[in-house]
């Protein structure tokens, strides 16, 4: 039998609801020297995703 996962989110329903409002965003950024792309990962609030992606 598999063991049940024990996390703080399962114990506190208030935290579980708040956790659903956050999103992991991966943005490709081009290096000015080499022209190669690098990727930046951030966890931001779902209401600010458009602002994060539109920043240059």
Q: Could you tell me the two tokens for 7?
A: 């996390």
Question: DSSP label at 21?
Answer: T
Domain boundaries, the chain: 19-54
User: What's the pLDDT score for residue 23?
Assistant: 93
pLDDT one-digit tens code per residue, 31-47: 999 999 999 999 999 99
pTM of the entire structure? 0.59
pLDDT band at 2 (very low <50, low <70, confident <90, very high): low
* Whole-number pLDDT of residue 1: 52
Which residues make beta-bridge pairs with 38? 29
Q: How much is the pLDDT for 29?
A: 92
Query: What is the per-residue pLDDT across 4-27, written as a single tens digit (0 to 9) for each?
Result: 656 555 667 777 777 788 999 999
């Amino acid at each position: 039998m598999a063991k049940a996962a024990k996390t703080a989110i399962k114990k506190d329903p208030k935290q579980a609801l708040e956790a659903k409002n956050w999103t992991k965003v991966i943005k490709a950024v081009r290096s000015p020297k080499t022209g190669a792309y690098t990727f930046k990962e951030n966890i931001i609030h779902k209401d600010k995703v458009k602002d994060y992606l539109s920043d240059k």
